[in-house]
Amino acid sequence: MNVNVQFREEGDLLLGFIEGEIDTFTAPTLRDELNSICISEGLFIELDLLNVSFMDSTGLGVFVAFYKKVMRENANLKLVNLSGRLTRLFEITGLSELMDIETIKKGD
């Protein structure tokens, strides 16, 4: 399976929609897509992971590196619509304490 990333700009908000599996084979594609973003101070980036069916530690590494890059530029990053499984990955690694993460909203 592959990973697909699409972006949509709305003023100072950049919405990213990620779908597929994020593993050793697809993580470089995700990293390249995220690195293509021109990050400026005050930019708010929201990455929607609703359609991510699987992620391993390689994927976590991509998000950590991107988070650090966003913070260096004084921008903001939020990961939204994480499944229970993805949320758990961020929790057990302690990343949920650093990063702004929102689980899937029930009833939406």
**CATH code, domain carrying 98:** 3.30.750.24
Q: What pLDDT was estimated at residue 11?
A: 86
pTM over 0.85: yes
Phi, psi of 64 (to 5 degrees): -65, -45
Mean per-residue pLDDT for 58-72? 97
Q: Has residue 93 been placed in a domain?
A: yes
Q: What pLDDT was estimated at residue 104?
A: 85
Domain that holds residue 9: 3-103
Location of structure tokens 């084979």: 25
38's CB contacts (< 8 A; 6+ apart) are none
Given the DSSP bridges, would you call strands 3-10 and 13-22 parallel, antiparallel or unpaired? antiparallel
Question: In the chain, how many domains are there?
Answer: 1
E-strand spans in 11-103?
A: 13-22, 44-55, 76-82, 100-103
**pLDDT grade, residue 108 (50/70/90)?**
very low
Q: Has residue 62 been placed in a domain?
A: yes
Distance CA 75, CA 40 (A): 7
Mean pLDDT of the chain: 94
Q: Has residue 99 been placed in a domain?
A: yes
Q: Has residue 108 been placed in a domain?
A: no
Check whether 61 has a pLDDT greater than 90: yes
Sign (positive or negative) of CA dihedral 32, 50, 68, 43: positive
